[in-house]
Structure 1
């Protein structure tokens, strides 16, 4: 009663409020309709006028997400016996759903004597949004067993539940069901289907659904682009985006964010800049969500300076923007800049999150700043009450390992309150390779084989450690094990963007249309660099073969081919940006340093661990990588 009175008294002078006042006034003045002539506002008759007012209050409560008035209305509904009215109950379920009161909505639904299609749809949608995917699926099955009618919204809501839990089997059954009841061509059902398939990694099925749809909404296009990006099919995502542009599709922030991520994945800087220009043109240039993606894109494309320019262009910065920029600096081994920005973030009143600490610890790792790493790890606990998670511990293991503190890294793994991840053992194994500790390497490799039995790279790395220590019997044993397991090593691949097109090179590439010209140019380049002091570091090729063959293999590494093609095609003053799917080897690292000096070019190489900026014969990693 008090709540409804406060609700009446608190209404402002808006047109909606005036309507409510008139209706409350009508209720107050209708003494003939009140038992005993009472003047309380809490009594309502079941007339159409009074029912309409209750419905309006429920709608208002749902719109604002404030359940107090809605609950008071619910009390009046029970008092006057309207709880059996299907429309009123549906509005109650919707109100409780929008207010986040799942149990209240469920209670209303369970007590309904009759349920309409809207009742089922609203309840299934609530369960799906609330993360109760299995309950949503069960309710849909219950709905079918009772013989209730359903709509495309019912099916799409259930599919959304499948997407959240990657329930492929249920999705395929629903797909077949949609075909059976002739709903598969519906835009809502089709969009939900391709979303499920994308999230489950079945991108071909998602693409089939997309291409089969006679009608596609903006959400359909956005979902398909996002699906390609989620499955790391970045080129396909950009091709689809260009198709959408050609038909004049209106862009939204979700599509554009996915497109930016695709550019970042390909390190397609030219394409990324074009997308950035388009964003500014259509008015998304200051959207926080978009700007964060832009910072990440420029960082991953090797242009951390442009990332920082975008960051500085934002007057209002949230935690995500700060984290993105700190992460960008860390990725480029700009450790000092990352730490300064970390401090500025706090000065701006932002509390460092788990993500910020991961970035600053990564920055310390890339430059071997052990004491700084210890400081930030302790600050996280003592100053900001952030509990270190498994990723923070992995960063510390990497810091210790890279700095040669192998035993300390191992002890941290042994004592931490989590099970060690493949990332941790991988960091330790890599550190053992650098610092020649093959005993702990065996321990790390054993754990990795249990966690990642299908990863050939771990056995290869262990074999290389043995080879570097002239343990040829162990090398033979490890390679025999690798051969018997039939695991395949990932081949080295590098790519470079030339005139808005990405060119890929495998180690020993033979299929590129200009490969003969590239090899000829590379031969001349090698000779020129030899005159400048370059000598192939054949110790980095650990195959048990003749030296001449080692020289040949090293010369044809994919990043050298990409560099040569860049020298052939790019303007003389343009930086050469190369991306690689594996860690750059020591010989290629030396090659890039001397080439940057000899050719007078800036060469930027992104491998799986970090960026290397080669300029005037030096690398940004300062030989700590």
Structure 2
């Protein structure tokens, strides 16, 4: 990172002289009164008044002791850093304590890069860092997510002999984990001689936010074996991991624990619980947690709105948004992502445009690329593919790969080959190695009977080394998550699973079920297509759950790909025949199957 200060924040280096060369004014009653007032004052305007009063009564603006106390008070209340910095630049010979306080202030502000600038100027003045410098500095680097600078500072802690201090090590774990270098974080973690709660939390959270929920859960179990009791921060990280895995049983155990230890009143814990239940398909439990919360933030409302939308209950999401508006809470950009998503998955095209316009005109929020993507999805799902393309052409923002991929998906869904080829050509420029784009184009050609073109796309994938992500389904039974892929015979209970699958097939046919072989987009015989459909991963997962859980209990399946039409039809019938609620989470939403129908109303 460049060490030069921005012009507006460049300090007067002539003032920053060693403290030993300066005279410190006598600390009389005026000084003591100012310090006493600062120690009890939490108001930014009042602190400014105290500062002005001190100057009027003879305390120089350059006084390092007065400056130290002023800066500490301002940083403690998260006051705007420009004013704090102005005080800092007038101090004669600021001490390491003052530098550390300023670094802390910038680390907790919206401009954490200035913390690094301060660190460089400390070196320019030969002021050595102490035990508090690096934890604050590493927090700023974690915000910046600058791994190169983080590694440089790590080497500096070793140079100054501070790398063995536990709070420096904790900050290092947090920095590496936040920056996505989880292996580096784990190496530092292993070197910590006495791992406290902060140490464990730093790495649990690192795994959770970097898409490695299984490691987060494993670490949580190890934490328990070492006798370290979790706190609210731990439980939030654990719930984030559980939400990603769709581990509902884990979520319920976590809920019981936070109730037992009195953490349920923690706003962040409550919000994490709402998110976990919603992402596990237990939307009614998410709604119950929301109703029981003593205080709610905009995040609470947004989490539930997004949850209702994800679970296929778009109308409920929009009703909740109306309640939020009546409470006179100001929605955020994320709130509107949930609202627009709800409209998209319910086919509410005109309503979606009304909300899109209200976002700008009523709340003054400038739509971001995510909101434009939702609008393209809204039009595409409704079959208005040409309108979606026109909308993209008029966007004030440059459409990214996600927007074009949304259009390509809509073209594949509705059979618009020519427009699909246009979308694919743009994706080839923006994100050429994405396997899903090849698959969508191949499927588009196959659905149009253009088998040679479909095979050509597959050959291109092979030549370029692009591999299709294999479809899989997860189901949690007995506190264990079981994974299935198409035609899977690796499970220890494979014989019982396939016997149940045969029973399911017989019962489906008695209900008039006919396999939707048009979904099998390969040029093979009809009988082979029916066999391929029978062994889809979600059907194997459902068969396993049926033989492994008590009659009448709900089944939740997590799938990494979009549910195909055949599996959707089959699952509706299974829910009726076996009298089970079956919840399937695909790559973008939930389907709640009950008594032969689905919450999506066959629109997904």
The verdict on a shared fold, with TM-score over 0.5 as the criterion, is yes
Secondary structure at the counterpart of residue 39 of structure 2 = helix
Matched, 1:338 2:317: yes
In 2, the alpha carbon distance for the partners of 1:183 and 1:516 equals: 59
> How do 1:578-589 and structure 2 match up within 5 A?
578-589=557-568
What is aligned with 1:299? 278
Secondary structure at the counterpart of residue 496 of structure 1 = strand
In 2, the alpha carbon distance for the partners of 1:220 and 1:157 equals: 16
Secondary structure at the counterpart of residue 563 of structure 2 = coil
State the Cα distance separating 1:250 from its structure 2 match: 4.2
> How do 1:440-519 and structure 2 match up within 5 A?
440-519=419-498
**CA contact under 8 A between 1:62 and 1:94: conserved in structure 2?**
no
Q: Deviations over 1:478-500 (max 9, x none)?
A: 22222222111111111011121
Residue range with higher mean Cα deviation, 471-480 or 455-464? 471-480
What is aligned with 1:278? 257
What is aligned with 1:83? 62
In 2, the alpha carbon distance for the partners of 1:375 and 1:119 equals: 52
Aligned partner of 2:549 among 546, 570, 579 = 570
> CA 1:229/1:66 → structure 2, altered by over 3 Å: closer, same or farther?
farther
What is aligned with 1:217? 196
> CA 1:330/1:138 → structure 2, altered by over 3 Å: closer, same or farther?
same
State the Cα distance separating 1:300 from its structure 2 match: 1.0
Aligned partner of 1:436 among 390, 399, 415 = 415
Q: Deviations over 1:427-464 (max 9, x none)?
A: 22121112111111111111222222221111110110
**CA contact under 8 A between 2:142 and 2:175: conserved in structure 1?**
yes
What is aligned with 1:427? 406
Residue range with higher mean Cα deviation, 460-469 or 390-399? 390-399
In 2, the alpha carbon distance for the partners of 1:569 and 1:101 equals: 58
> How do 1:526-541 and structure 2 match up within 5 A?
526-541=505-520
Q: Deviations over 1:297-347 (max 9, x none)?
A: 111111111111122223543322222222111111212222222222222
Aligned partner of 2:350 among 338, 353, 371 = 371
Matched, 1:616 2:598: no
What is aligned with 1:593? 572
Structure 2, unaligned stretches of length 5 or more?
1-24
Matched, 1:173 2:152: yes
Aligned partner of 1:67 among 36, 47, 59 = 47
In 2, the alpha carbon distance for the partners of 1:428 and 1:104 equals: 48
In 1, the alpha carbon distance for the partners of 2:577 and 2:61 equals: 86
> CA 1:212/1:523 → structure 2, altered by over 3 Å: closer, same or farther?
farther
> CA 1:81/1:337 → structure 2, altered by over 3 Å: closer, same or farther?
closer
**CA contact under 8 A between 1:329 and 1:338: conserved in structure 2?**
yes
> How do 1:284-323 and structure 2 match up within 5 A?
284-314=263-293, 316-323=295-302
What is aligned with 1:94? 72
**CA contact under 8 A between 1:368 and 1:399: conserved in structure 2?**
yes
**CA contact under 8 A between 2:44 and 2:74: conserved in structure 1?**
no
**CA contact under 8 A between 1:131 and 1:164: conserved in structure 2?**
no
**CA contact under 8 A between 2:61 and 2:91: conserved in structure 1?**
no
Secondary structure at the counterpart of residue 258 of structure 2 = helix
Secondary structure at the counterpart of residue 152 of structure 1 = coil
> CA 1:96/1:614 → structure 2, altered by over 3 Å: closer, same or farther?
closer
Matched, 1:123 2:84: no
State the Cα distance separating 1:413 from its structure 2 match: 1.0
**Larger of the two Rg values belongs to structure:** 1
In 2, the alpha carbon distance for the partners of 1:490 and 1:168 equals: 29
In 2, the alpha carbon distance for the partners of 1:610 and 1:465 equals: 22
**CA contact under 8 A between 2:311 and 2:591: conserved in structure 1?**
yes
In 1, the alpha carbon distance for the partners of 2:347 and 2:507 equals: 34
What is aligned with 1:55? 35
What is aligned with 2:4? none
TM-score by length of 2: 0.90
Matched, 1:264 2:238: no
State the Cα distance separating 1:47 from its structure 2 match: 4.5
**CA contact under 8 A between 1:61 and 1:70: conserved in structure 2?**
no
**CA contact under 8 A between 1:58 and 1:73: conserved in structure 2?**
no
Number of matched pairs: 580
In 1, the alpha carbon distance for the partners of 2:75 and 2:54 equals: 14
State the Cα distance separating 1:559 from its structure 2 match: 0.9
State the Cα distance separating 1:477 from its structure 2 match: 2.5
TM-score by length of 1: 0.87
State the Cα distance separating 1:228 from its structure 2 match: 1.0
Structure 1, unaligned stretches of length 5 or more?
1-44
Secondary structure at the counterpart of residue 62 of structure 2 = helix
Residue range with higher mean Cα deviation, 475-484 or 57-66? 57-66
What is aligned with 1:31? none
Residue range with higher mean Cα deviation, 293-302 or 172-181? 172-181
> How do 1:375-394 and structure 2 match up within 5 A?
375-394=354-373
State the Cα distance separating 1:573 from its structure 2 match: 1.0
State the Cα distance separating 1:272 from its structure 2 match: 0.6
In 2, the alpha carbon distance for the partners of 1:71 and 1:227 equals: 41
Q: Deviations over 1:248-302 (max 9, x none)?
A: 4343322221111122111111111111111112222233222222111111111
> How do 1:221-240 and structure 2 match up within 5 A?
221-240=200-219
In 1, the alpha carbon distance for the partners of 2:75 and 2:295 equals: 33
| RMSD of equivalent CA atoms | 2.4
What is aligned with 1:150? 129
In 2, the alpha carbon distance for the partners of 1:366 and 1:205 equals: 41
In 2, the alpha carbon distance for the partners of 1:383 and 1:80 equals: 49
What is aligned with 1:199? 178
What is aligned with 1:559? 538
> How do 1:33-52 and structure 2 match up within 5 A?
46-52=26-32
**CA contact under 8 A between 2:55 and 2:61: conserved in structure 1?**
no
> CA 1:65/1:404 → structure 2, altered by over 3 Å: closer, same or farther?
same
Q: Deviations over 1:541-563 (max 9, x none)?
A: 21233444433433222111111
Secondary structure at the counterpart of residue 132 of structure 2 = helix
> CA 1:120/1:351 → structure 2, altered by over 3 Å: closer, same or farther?
closer
In 2, the alpha carbon distance for the partners of 1:68 and 1:145 equals: 30
In 1, the alpha carbon distance for the partners of 2:127 and 2:364 equals: 52
What is aligned with 2:19? none
State the Cα distance separating 1:367 from its structure 2 match: 1.7
**CA contact under 8 A between 1:65 and 1:98: conserved in structure 2?**
no
What is aligned with 1:42? none
